[in-house]
Amino acid sequence: MAEHDDYTGSVQRLAAIFQQQHRASRHQVKPDLALRRDRLARIARMVRENQDDLLAAVSQDFGNRAAIETQLLELGAVINAVNYASRRLRKWMKPEKLGVGTNFRPGKAWLRYEPLGVIGIISPWNYPISLALIPLVDALAAGNTALLKPSELTPRFSGLLARLIEQSFETSEVAVILGGPDVAEAFAATPFDHLLFTGSTAIGRKVMMAAAPNLTPVTLELGGKSPAVVCDDYAIEKAARTLAFCKCINSGQTCVAPDYVLAPRAMVEPLAKAILTQMHKGYPQLDGNADYTSIISDRHRARLLAAIEEARAGGATILSHEAPIAADSRNVAPTVVLGAPDDCLLMREEIFGPILPIIPYDRLEDAMAHINRGERPLALYVFSNDRQRQEQVLAATMSGGVTINGAMLQAGQDEVPFGGVGASGMGTYHGHHGFKRFSHARPVFKVRLINGFEMLGMPWKKLAYWMARKTIGR
């Protein structure tokens, strides 16, 4: 990060910029529709005009990041979020009429969606563009200012983002803070009006603890072991294609990627072979393949390789892509694991790599019991053409989101809220849900003609006692 020394984050710079934005949010007129749309347009323009630099920076941070993945899943996703919000913002900002109880008529009540103030956004390394800028779209659509803290594991992108934001926004509107864990800790402890964190469950707990003394409300987008349940009525080849495709996108470094598969015992082996065949077909070679994304760091790669060897030592069958991988490569071969021990890392922790364990079940109820023994996952995938079985899985489990007969699609839509439950997170955003997440729904009641409540007293009149008896029932 030496070339970005001018932007290097510090606790002092964080505090100064926060105070500047805090003052602006309290003393300036709330942003109107035109200003909000202008801010959103600046995000879109920033992405479009700098897409080559963004693609290069992210790829350099990963060692190799498939350009099409960055274009579709990051740059395109941000542009879609901007367009979606801009077209609907006028409607979202309109006051929402509320009903009025008989005793309060002829009064009038409504909700005003107003900006909270200063929004903090801590974004991760795996989708560094979209997981920083889509929350920013929602925050700016709601009329807030924002501070971003991108991951130190993507230094080239994070430094570029800092420069681009500085060129596109006043510091009192949006700013980027760079730095390592010490800056992240100070960021989480800053008294934001709302804090959104995307990352691991373990760090999410620390973020929530840091925010608690300030009573900062938090949205936590975490992870967990998202299961895919394959039923015996679903075609093996169709399930295999979906699972292989979604597990290999970004080399499995996706919070909503299928983490493991539950399949009928008789289907496990043919399904495993079909998945591996699809992986071979999609990536006939690994090293030198521009479409195959590398693992973010040597440390993360070493963890994945150690997890495979731990499972192998525990008696698991390892079905792996056999293309050669150089010793200095950060690639990990797409791998299917059968018979992984329950206590091995692949079964204990979110994998975050192109490794897919398959677990047999004898009855669908057994698959549900397996899921429910763990923490509630961020995503759940059900492969069945039988509506009764689909409903059986949904009724017996809980997850942040679900896709039926597909994977990951619930997380990529502006119309659909994205978020976890329990250990996989709290709160949702995207589109209108994000607008409301970063707004205060401010209720307003207006007295018209007469104030019926005041007519009851003071002193309290017979009508007040009659109303009390009638309401309570005595």
Q: Which pLDDT score, from 0 to 100, does residue 248 have? A: 97
Whether 473 maps to a domain, the answer reads: no
Same domain? 59 vs 169: yes
Same domain? 316 vs 432: no
Same domain? 334 vs 434: no
Same domain? 190 vs 245: no
pLDDT at residue 2 tops 50: no
Q: Which pLDDT score, from 0 to 100, does residue 453 have? A: 85
Whether 466 maps to a domain, the answer reads: no
Give which of 140, 125, 153, 25 is closest to 89, Cα–Cα.
Answer: 140
Indicate the Cα dihedral angle 333, 339, 344, 349, nearest 10°. 70
Same domain? 218 vs 231: no
Same domain? 37 vs 106: yes
Q: Within 10 A of 153 (CB to CB), how many other CB atoms are there?
A: 18
Catalytic one of 69, 255, 344, 350 = 255
pLDDT at residue 331 tops 70: yes
Whether 461 maps to a domain, the answer reads: no
CATH number (domain holding residue 293): 3.40.309.10
Give which of 435, 349, 462, 463 is closest to 144, Cα–Cα.
Answer: 435
**Residue 9 pLDDT class (50, 70, 90 cuts):** low
Q: Which pLDDT score, from 0 to 100, does residue 456 have? A: 86
Give which of 133, 122, 114 is closest to 436, Cα–Cα.
Answer: 114
Whether 471 maps to a domain, the answer reads: no
Same domain? 70 vs 194: yes
Same domain? 277 vs 349: yes
Note whether 222 and 424 are within 8 A (CB).
yes
Same domain? 91 vs 205: yes
pLDDT at residue 5 tops 80: no
* Average pLDDT value over all residues in the chain: 95
Same domain? 235 vs 206: no
96 is catalytic: no
255 is catalytic: yes
Over range 36-61, report the average pLDDT. 98
CATH number (domain holding residue 436): 3.40.605.10
Q: Which tens digits make up the pLDDT trace of 354-406?
A: 999 999 999 999 999 999 999 999 999 999 999 999 999 999 999 999 999 99
Same domain? 58 vs 183: yes
Q: Which tens digits make up the pLDDT trace of 193-223?
A: 999 999 999 999 999 999 999 999 999 999 9
Q: Which tens digits make up the pLDDT trace of 431-458?
A: 999 999 999 999 999 999 888 888 888 8
Whether 401 maps to a domain, the answer reads: yes
- CA distance to 178, 200, 326, per residue, from 211 (Å): 19, 16, 44
The C-alpha atoms of residue 90 and residue 94 are separated, in whole angstroms, by 7
**Residue 126 pLDDT class (50, 70, 90 cuts):** very high
Q: Which pLDDT score, from 0 to 100, does residue 124 have? A: 97
Number of independent structural domains in the chain: 2
Tokens at residue 242, please?
């979906």
Cis peptide bond N-terminal to 417, omega within 30: no
Q: Which tens digits make up the pLDDT trace of 252-287?
A: 999 999 999 999 999 999 999 999 999 999 999 999
Same domain? 283 vs 155: no
Domain span at residue 322 reads 227-419
Whether 413 maps to a domain, the answer reads: yes
Whether 13 maps to a domain, the answer reads: yes
Catalytic one of 74, 221, 231, 246 = 221
Whether 453 maps to a domain, the answer reads: no
